[in-house]
Structure 1
Amino acid sequence: MNTIGLTILVRMGNCLCVRESVEINGSKFYVRDSIGEGGFSTVQLVESASSHKLYALKRITCHAQSDEKVALSEVEYHKALCHPNIVECVDSDLVGVPDLIGNRTSQVLILLPYYPRGTLHEELMRRQANGSPIEETTVLTTFRGICEATLCMHSAKPHPLAHRDIKTANVLLKDDFTPVLMDLGSVARARVEVNGSTDARKLQDEASEKCSMAYKAPELFNVEAFCHIDERTDVWSLGCLLYALCFYKSPFEAVYERGDSVALAAVSGNIRIPDNHPYSQDVTDLIESLLKVSADERPYVDWVVNSVDQLINKSAGAV
């Protein structure tokens, strides 16, 4: 799901002479604007015909039954992962039947809450332009909410789940700055036993398709033929996100924008903390503890939540 631009708020008031509409389980919605698109999905701002409430509608186009199965799994993950820091699926529907021979497609419709404030990425870009970093306590409380969402996934039954694409552009912000993790299209089983080059290539291809380069864990760039991958891929991404909360972008964003090898940069383990920043040594130490090249040296997310709690208490003078 792409980021939600503030231009939507300007365009929302425009009069639409011909209003496109869509039905979800018998409820009618008017399309107000396009929010974004990527791959085989689009996101639109829609308005309920009955309540006039605004929502974000994700429409996933499916060309085959296999596409449909993947898209419907995103709906199932929404149902399984109920948490205040994970975006809620308000409703969902499946329309049409995919047929490659007849050149027909189906669509999985996922109705989500609409957050006018947009994403954490947009908030950080505004702050970078204004030279106004987020205050440390707010950094920690925001990060804690994202970690709580991640912990919910990692604690899922019957098997732990990993988001696999945690980044600032996948965190929505409520009006009170509460973070909400979104885009469950990348979610997968967290623990994977890789037995041979075929398994390794499959996982590496999936990671190339679904994981954002500047937030992707080192072990997913070049998957070893015989290895064990677990939920600490998300902990690496959380480290990149905490760095961005402090310094606006992932530590590997500049490498990616230059077109240099993010894989080499990630594997090198060299994380540069900018000079003259307003954050405590505790925060920068936490960032470095999450960005360990070896997954075995990274903590699990429950440790991260406890560590953040300690830092919040310390900054509040409770310790």
Structure 2
Amino acid sequence: MGLSGRLLQMIIASGVIIFAMVAAVATTNAKPAGCPRKCGDVEIPFPFGLKETDQACYLNKVFDIFCDSGKPMIGNLPVINISIETHELHVLNTVVRDCYDWSGQRVSKNTKKLSAAQFTISNTKNQFTVLGCDTQAYLGGFQNGERYWLGCSSLCPSLNNVVSDSCSGVGCCELGFPDGLKDIWVQVQSFSNHTNVSDFNPCGYAFVVEKGKFNFSTDILRNLPYNRVPMVFDWAIGNETCKEAQKKPNFACEDKNSECFEPQNREGYQCMCKQGYKGNPYLYGGCEDINECEDPTLNNCSKMCNNTEGNYTCYCPKGYHGDGRKDGEDCSADPTAVIAIKIPIVIGVSFVVILGVSSWLFIFHKKRKLIRLKESFFRQNGGLILEQQFSKQQRSKEMAKIFTVEELKKATNNYDESRIIGQGGFGTVYKGFLLDKRIVAIKKSKTVDQNQIDQFVNEVVLLSQINHRNVVKLLGCCLETQVPLLVYEFVPKGTLFKYIHHESSASTITWETRLRIAAETAYALSYLHSAASTPIIHRDVKSSNILLDDDFTAKVSDFGTSRLVPRDQKELATVVQGTLGYLDPEYLQTNQLTEKSDVYSFGVVLVELLTGGDVLSFNRSEKERSLAMYFLSSLKEDRLFEVLENCIVEEGNEEQIKEVVELAKRCLRVKGDERPTMKEVAMELEGIRKTETHSWVSVQSNLEEAEHLLGETSHAYEQGGSSSRTVGYDSMNDQVTLALGDGR
């Protein structure tokens, strides 16, 4: 055989090999035609598939669905819908119950773990809900590989104060949670085994539920009639980026008309059909062309439309010329048809004129409506009353100002997300720049009680007059929005909490600085209790509500839960509100709020400054779960050196530390009458700052009574994982807070 013959054979052999490779690829990409795609009434689209079928029917084991008697299940959760377009998995989530009989014995399991492969819980579609009159619950999970906790409490001594369709903490409590949360578990428990409310509320409930799918009513507190609620997962493919996945043979975006996207705040990638196509991008040939000409809203043609692959074209009918597009060269009549189209032109021009006039009238009406709406909000939020109060006072540059909504929009760049410096359950705080170059913090709350507008106005007037170097200054407010906006001075270094608990920051504040911060905070609280024109009980003293300026000067902030106390009253009966771990146990049991409640909370802050420990920690034994109990137990057992922050022990100052330890112990006394006043605390701290240091003397005392009451309080927290400092949300910071009742 000649050279030409051998060359021909090689060409034929190469062609056969190429054909075989193409066929192999086509076979690999094509999914088996016999795969069942339905379980009961639920469609099971690829990449999901039924577990009992061939493995080629689903992408991998993450996406296998078990069909149990016509009910699709993923793990232990029934599936009710799977969406390819939104990449959502709708399931029925379990309601976790914590029930007790008349004697206070638990009769149901109170913890439930939910693990669904790599799927994340949708934070935009779900919320964490807790029901009960003697109930607290925790939601735990992993976010970006780290443990995450939040909690919520629901209390009510009777059904008299419970309002249907309202989840404000009385009978019902609800919270949002961050994006990217997976492998969650829910734990619900009781403060006193429901013995006080068992006749109308024997159980506590907790669950993650799809927003808008649960309506609260008082009848539910007696008995929740169902065991499951709808919930939404977000799903994606693997944990690789699009660029990484495209290099591998098992890349899931099979169709040539599909595109790869990377979801925000979670791992993996998602496939979508390109513009002009619809269908399943995870199947070979799954993205089908959309006929835009069938739907006028999908095309831009003025006259005639012709569908093409993935697109469409416009053209003009006979007797007209142009490209036929509404935004291009619309169809115009040929010269021979000019006369025939004059009438439509006149009609068109008239229509445009009418449309222009109508648009102008509409815009004018809309502006007038907006002005009236702002005036309505201004009156509704007590603006007229506030103006009258301000007019009675001698105005000065330091006094509060009523800002316009336009001023604050401009200061925050229309509330740009990049300006957010704090966010929680009660609202969001933005960093703003006023026209006079001042930097401010603008608090945008979520709700306001219209029945307490007069009290809100009085508090704004009062707080605007407080001019103490250790209290965050209220600069003014805006009343032209549905919920009033408050404007505070901006404190640059953030919270004391950050500098105590973050390892990278804790060593930057010396013992001298810590002692000064404690003294300044004490002076601020003493001023609020006794020197203000109307005494103020802060009610939420904690390290995350103490801000630090550039010189580490302390400034007490966040008066969202504070109460004004008439001078002829020693205490107020209120719904308990504050932060777990800082709450005065006497206030928690009696609902009687006094200035000594702030003293107890300040004592916990002193212990934080001394130890750097978490206020609540599940890493400690149940008896010592709260920092206050842990501290007092350490004193009794002569283990103080074990709990003190290493960096302050190494500095020496033994005598000063000893005196602060003794002062903290007195602030944490069980009975409020036995605690010092904030004025006494402030004076004692100032005296300690002036003392000389001496050798260390062991600190021991009789702490049985304090241990007993704090021990009772600690039973409210059962072991569930790592540290949990707070529960619920704080209005000024990223800190989680407990709202056991309505706020102000």
Same fold (TM over 0.5): yes
> For residues 296 and 95 of structure 1, do their structure 2 counterparts lie closer, same or farther at Cα, with a shift above 3 Å needed?
same
Of the three residues 584, 607, 614, the one matched with 1:243 is 607
Q: Which amino acid aligns with 1:272?
A: S
Show the 5 A alignment for 1:100-111: 106-111=482-487
> For residues 147 and 176 of structure 1, do their structure 2 counterparts lie closer, same or farther at Cα, with a shift above 3 Å needed?
same
> Are 1:223 and 2:594 matched, yes or no?
no
> For residues 130 and 55 of structure 1, do their structure 2 counterparts lie closer, same or farther at Cα, with a shift above 3 Å needed?
closer
Q: Give the aligned partner of residue 212 of structure 1.
A: 579
> For residues 163 and 153 of structure 1, do their structure 2 counterparts lie closer, same or farther at Cα, with a shift above 3 Å needed?
same
Deviation at 1:159, TM superposition (A): 4.2
Q: Which amino acid aligns with 2:464?
A: K
Q: Which amino acid aligns with 2:684?
A: S
Show the 5 A alignment for 1:2-151: 24-25=403-404, 27=407, 28-29=410-411, 30=413, 31=415, 32-48=418-434, 50-62=435-447, 65-66=450-451, 68-69=453-454, 71-96=456-481, 106-126=482-502, 128-129=503-504, 132=507, 134-151=509-526
Secondary structure of 1:57's counterpart equals strand
Deviations 1:161-208 (A, max 9, x none): 2101110000110100000000011211355556xxxx5xxx2x2x23
Distance in 2 between residues matched to 1:220 and 1:243, nearest whole Å:
20
> For residues 271 and 262 of structure 1, do their structure 2 counterparts lie closer, same or farther at Cα, with a shift above 3 Å needed?
closer
Deviates most, 141-150 or 274-283: 274-283
Distance in 2 between residues matched to 1:310 and 1:82, nearest whole Å:
24
Q: Which amino acid aligns with 1:166?
A: V
> For residues 82 and 260 of structure 1, do their structure 2 counterparts lie closer, same or farther at Cα, with a shift above 3 Å needed?
farther
Secondary structure of 1:213's counterpart equals coil
Distance in 2 between residues matched to 1:34 and 1:259, nearest whole Å:
37
Deviation at 1:37, TM superposition (A): 2.4
CA contact (8 A) 1:147 1:304 kept: yes
Q: Which amino acid aligns with 1:184?
A: F
> Are 1:272 and 2:634 matched, yes or no?
yes
Deviation at 1:293, TM superposition (A): 0.8
Q: Give the aligned partner of residue 308 of structure 1.
A: 685
Secondary structure of 2:581's counterpart equals helix
> For residues 286 and 175 of structure 1, do their structure 2 counterparts lie closer, same or farther at Cα, with a shift above 3 Å needed?
same
Deviates most, 113-122 or 241-250: 241-250
Secondary structure of 1:176's counterpart equals coil
CA contact (8 A) 1:160 1:231 kept: no
Distance in 1 between residues matched to 2:629 and 2:454, nearest whole Å:
34
CA contact (8 A) 2:617 2:625 kept: no
Deviations 1:260-306 (A, max 9, x none): 69999979994535425315211211111111111111011111111
> Are 1:167 and 2:534 matched, yes or no?
no
Deviation at 1:157, TM superposition (A): 5.1
Distance in 2 between residues matched to 1:133 and 1:220, nearest whole Å:
35
CA contact (8 A) 2:584 2:597 kept: yes
Name whichever structure is richer in helix by fraction. 1
CA contact (8 A) 1:87 1:182 kept: yes
Distance in 2 between residues matched to 1:130 and 1:65, nearest whole Å:
42
> Are 1:253 and 2:620 matched, yes or no?
no
CA contact (8 A) 2:607 2:628 kept: no
CA contact (8 A) 1:134 1:245 kept: no
Unaligned runs of 5+ in 1: 1-22, 97-105
Q: Which amino acid aligns with 1:254?
A: S
CA contact (8 A) 2:617 2:626 kept: no
Show the 5 A alignment for 1:276-291: 276=642, 277=644, 278=649, 280-291=657-668
Secondary structure of 1:110's counterpart equals strand
Q: Which amino acid aligns with 1:275?
A: F
Q: Give the aligned partner of residue 5 of structure 1.
A: none
CA contact (8 A) 2:499 2:506 kept: no
Q: Which amino acid aligns with 2:608?
A: A
Per the normalisation by structure 2, the TM-score is 0.33
Deviates most, 33-42 or 303-312: 33-42
Secondary structure of 1:184's counterpart equals coil
Per the normalisation by structure 1, the TM-score is 0.72
> For residues 271 and 35 of structure 1, do their structure 2 counterparts lie closer, same or farther at Cα, with a shift above 3 Å needed?
farther
Secondary structure of 2:589's counterpart equals coil
Distance in 2 between residues matched to 1:244 and 1:259, nearest whole Å:
18
Distance in 2 between residues matched to 1:154 and 1:141, nearest whole Å:
20
CA contact (8 A) 2:476 2:486 kept: yes
Secondary structure of 2:488's counterpart equals strand
Deviation at 1:92, TM superposition (A): 1.1
Deviation at 1:95, TM superposition (A): 1.6
Deviation at 1:130, TM superposition (A): 6.4
Distance in 1 between residues matched to 2:625 and 2:571, nearest whole Å:
22
CA contact (8 A) 1:239 1:291 kept: yes
